[in-house]
Amino acid sequence: MPFSHHSHSGQFCPGHAKNSLEEVIQTAIAQKMQVFCLTEHMPRGKEDFYPEEVGVSTEEWLVENEAAFYAEALRLRQKYASQIKLLIGFEIDWIRPESLKLIETSLSRLPFELFVGSVHHVHTIPIDYDASMYQQAREAAGGTDERLFEDYYDSQLDMLQKLKPPVIGHFDLIRLKSDDPNATFTKYPRVWDKIQRNLRFVASYGGLLELNSAALRKGMTEPYPKEEICREFLSMGGRFCMSDDSHGIDQVGFGYRQVLDFVDQAGITVLHYLDLNLSGEGPILDSRFPLTRIRSVPIEEVKTASFWA
């Protein structure tokens, strides 16, 4: 039964991930996953290329790559329809004002079924790429983790308000390269206020906060987001889904048993997942995605899935 709402492949995310899209899907099938969302990165402007992309990629190639990804994802969904439910979406990069136009273009160009709303940059500088770039972003924010965290959550709110993403990606990614990635956010009252503010907004429109296991493979003690954030969101009536944020076959389903233990610890009793329903039954997740439905399943039922065997 377990599912993932956030994944990447080396085929369409070169230099950042490994393996073909089909190999990733085959791995999810072998693990007996029920739903697997395909969410490669959206095209970005050349000013936001990562170091390994400079001089190699072009804006035109990224647009062509997105179209090729969608076509291949559609082919593979048909090929493996009897074995797994695949939803086709993308992960956004909220970087600068022009990002909104790029995201809207992707949404209008292809009939995607979801997108993951993520912030990987603050002051247009990547905050999860390496320690050096994180330091640059921190200096641009005022020189401390606290100030950078504040700016991150302000940028995230801007993204949330303008786009209302169906799935919110790694809500507290900002802690990854910080001085103490496992520290409580409550030690910074202004940061905690902004976290609560953003959570209230997500809860108000019904967005799904992903429990993202990538934090575990990157050495942190809790998935994204931390337990304190999950408990706060839960108190607001917030809803959660699961994601592995895999970047290749060795990361599909990684850390899910730890996430399951974490869910119990955080007091989460129900998980949600996305599904396609061509017959029109069930609650719609978002009017922009009329075929995408949102389902719920009790944690006790999740624990009985063949995935864990």
- What pLDDT, on the 0 to 100 scale, is given for residue 56? 83
Nearest to 77 by CA among 280, 275, 213: 275
Report the SS3 class of residue 248: coil
Report the SS3 class of residue 164: coil
- What pLDDT, on the 0 to 100 scale, is given for residue 172? 98
Element containing residue 125 per DSSP (H, E):
strand 125-126
- What pLDDT, on the 0 to 100 scale, is given for residue 265? 97
C-alpha to C-alpha distance for 256 and 213, rounded to whole angstroms: 7
Pair type for strands 208-212 and 239-243: parallel
What are the structural domains of the chain? 3-308 (3.20.20.140)
Residue stretches of the chain with pLDDT short of 70: 278-280
Q: Is the pTM of this model over 0.95?
A: yes
- What pLDDT, on the 0 to 100 scale, is given for residue 52? 84
C-alpha to C-alpha distance for 278 and 281, rounded to whole angstroms: 8
C-alpha to C-alpha distance for 46 and 122, rounded to whole angstroms: 17
- What pLDDT, on the 0 to 100 scale, is given for residue 54? 86
Query: For residue range 77-107, what is the model confidence (pLDDT) as tens digits?
Result: 999 999 999 999 999 999 999 999 999 999 9
Query: For residue range 289-309, what is the model confidence (pLDDT) as tens digits?
Result: 999 999 999 999 999 999 998
C-alpha to C-alpha distance for 66 and 61, rounded to whole angstroms: 9
Alpha helices in 243-292 (DSSP H): 256-266
